[in-house]
């Protein structure tokens, strides 16, 4: 079906299948429709239907709270076309040569990292190129809606994507993944997506601030940087916030990245709900420990460092909001802040 | 000109954002160090309440929800910001901040029913 999107400067058209969201259809054909989360939580992909018949998948999507459905407002990530449609979007449109695509993968290598965090791999039917820091949206048969996860690994033509999921009470995807029946399950994914990316050719020092499973994309960034021996000539700081010591994971990998960084990568683990204890030091002597919220640890750490950095932020929405606020107050320009907010 | 008193200048610390009610009209006042701005209470992007989502540093007001930002000295849009910030004219008299509030400034997030749909883009 033909979808025409208009903005104040003109219009673009693309084709949309019956079983894909209008957002994904546009993105995979190189149309840079506005979006952030691609999963119904942020509201950035809002559009107004001028004509055509739309099927809205997740009617209670929190990102749609401020839409006016009576005027035809929709979230494009939740909309499927039942006919040819004309939509209006309130932002600038362009065509890009890098497009995400619908892909298939098989779940393997599930590995429990904490009581509620699971690492797993997706073995792709065909390799995918992505930039460190990007994410994919997964869909599993029988569970409504997509879930966005950042890649933990980094490879040029990756045939395996490593992902990490935090299980939340009542979260159907987490429940599904924590059960052994998920092994060898086939999932559909869409991606790569996201602009909070790291590229070695940008030639900048950087700081990563992650809450919980928000560390996923940061691990990809550190892997990409390590492979490029980026820390021979650049400095970086990583702040990883979790509640307690029992909630930490990837500490071994983080230690390894720090150890091979020529002293230029400093990793701090911030525990919000537990007094800092000695044992972690003994096990991972290269990691620094802090007590308190991760955005506070980062603000303190950054006060002693050069502000001319790219700042990557990822984690739960409240953590991201607090961190953005403290970065801006701390004098980091918004053009140097890259973030993902997953709820 | 309809000058109305909003608050005492001393009520707003430097780099703070605060919401006031002026005869039923919600107004956010920002002290950006070099001066004050009186603006509508929501971000023109996605209607976030700026008294909570807004942060000021180096004379720049940023909505932390999606990083739309404006330089409050010039009102110049920063970064990927796509819409201008509306402002009430302000002045200070005897330590009070006054704004010219003829009628409430609003952003068009959707169309008037009797008008063309083009307001969606404004």
Residues A139-171: pLDDT tens digits? 988 888 889 999 999 998 999 999 999 999 988
Q: Is residue B21 part of a domain?
A: yes
CATH 2.40.30.10 residue ranges of chain A are: 101-193
Contact (CB<8Å) A66/B47: yes
Q: What is the mean pLDDT of residues A37-44?
A: 88
Residue of A9, A73, A325, A338 to mutate, interface with B, max B Cβ within 10 Å: A325
Find residue B92's DSSP bridge partners.
B97
CATH 3.40.50.80 residue ranges of chain A are: 200-341
Mean pLDDT of chain A: 92
Which residues of B fall within a CB distance of 8 Å from A325? 55, 64
Query: Is the C-alpha dihedral spanning A34, A37, A38, A44 positive or negative?
Result: negative
Domain region containing B46:
3-105
State which residue of chain B sits closest to A49, comparing Cα positions.
B117
d(CA A174, CA A45): 26
Asked if ipTM goes beyond 0.85, one says no
A295/A63: higher pLDDT: A295
Q: Is residue B67 part of a domain?
A: yes
CATH number of the domain bearing residue B27:
2.102.10.10
Is A101-193 a domain of CATH 2.40.50.100?
no
- pTM for the complete prediction? 0.87
Is A2-88 a domain of CATH 3.30.110.30?
no
Q: Could you tell me which CATH number the domain at A200-341 has?
A: 3.40.50.80
Helix-strand-coil split of chain B, %, nearest 5: 10, 40, 50
Q: Is residue B117 part of a domain?
A: no
Residue A329, chain B, CB below 8 Å: the answer is yes
Which residues of B fall within a CB distance of 8 Å from A90? 82, 120-121
Alpha-helical segments (H) within chain A: 22-28, 172-177, 215-227, 251-259, 279-283, 294-303, 317-329
Residue B119, chain A, CB below 8 Å: the answer is no
Contact (CB<8Å) B55/A50: no
**pLDDT recorded at residue B119:** 47
The answer, yes or no, to whether residue B110 has pLDDT greater than 60, is no
Beginning with the edge strand found earlier in the chain, give each strand of the sheet holding A117-128 in spatial order.
Answer: A147-150, A135-139, A186-193, A101-112, A117-128, A158-166
Q: Is residue B120 part of a domain?
A: no
Residue A243, chain B, CB below 8 Å: the answer is no
């Amino acid at each position: 079906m033909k979808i025409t999107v208009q903005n104040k400067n003109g219009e673009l058209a693309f084709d949309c299948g019956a079983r894909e969201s209008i957002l994904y259809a546009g993105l995979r054909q190189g149309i840079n429709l506005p979006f952030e989360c691609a999963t119904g939580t942020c509201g950035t992909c809002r559009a107004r239907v001028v004509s055509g018949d739309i099927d809205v998948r997740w009617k209670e999507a929190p990102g749609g709270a401020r839409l006016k459905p009576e005027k035809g407002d929709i979230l494009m990530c939740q909309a499927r076309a039942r006919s040819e449609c004309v939509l209006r979007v309130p932002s600038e449109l362009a065509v890009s040569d890098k497009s995400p695509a619908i892909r298939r993968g098989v779940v393997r290598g599930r590995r429990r990292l904490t009581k509620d965090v699971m690492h797993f791999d997706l073995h792709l039917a065909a390799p995918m190129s992505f930039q460190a820091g990007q994410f994919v949206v997964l869909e599993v048969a029988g569970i409504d809606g997509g879930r966005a996860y950042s890649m933990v690994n980094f490879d040029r033509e990756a045939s395996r994507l490593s992902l990490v999921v935090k299980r939340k009470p009542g979260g159907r995807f987490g429940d599904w993944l924590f059960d052994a029946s998920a092994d060898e399950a086939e999932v559909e994914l869409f991606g790569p997506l996201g602009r909070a990316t790291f590229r070695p050719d940008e030639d900048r020092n950087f700081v990563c601030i992650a809450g919980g499973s928000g560390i996923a994309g940061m691990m990809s960034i550190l892997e990409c940087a390590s492979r490029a021996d980026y820390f021979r000539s650049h400095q970086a700081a990583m702040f990883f916030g979790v509640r307690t010591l029992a909630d930490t994971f990837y500490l071994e990998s983080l230690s390894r990245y720090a150890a091979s960084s020529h002293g230029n990568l400093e990793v701090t683990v911030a525990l919000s709900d537990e007094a800092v204890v000695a044992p972690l030091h003994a096990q991972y002597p290269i990691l620094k420990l802090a007590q308190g919220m991760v955005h506070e640890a980062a603000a303190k750490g950054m006060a002693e460092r050069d502000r001319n950095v790219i700042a990557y932020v990822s984690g739960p929405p409240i953590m991201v909001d607090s961190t953005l606020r403290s970065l801006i107050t701390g004098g980091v320009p918004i053009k140097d802040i890259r973030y993902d907010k997953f709820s | 000109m309809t000058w109305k008193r909003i608050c005492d200048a001393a009520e707003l610390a430097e780099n703070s954002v605060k919401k006031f009610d002026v005869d039923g009209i919600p107004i956010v006042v920002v002290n950006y160090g070099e001066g004050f701005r009186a603006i509508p209470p929501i971000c023109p992007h996605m209607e976030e309440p700026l008294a909570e989502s807004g942060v000021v540093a180096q004379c720049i007001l940023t909505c932390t929800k999606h990083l739309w930002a404006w330089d409050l000295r010039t009102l110049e849009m920063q970064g990927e910001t796509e819409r201008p910030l509306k402002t009430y004219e302000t002045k200070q008299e005897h330590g009070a901040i006054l704004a010219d509030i003829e009628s409430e400034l609003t952003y068009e997030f959707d169309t008037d029913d009797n008008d063309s749909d083009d307001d969606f883009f404004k």
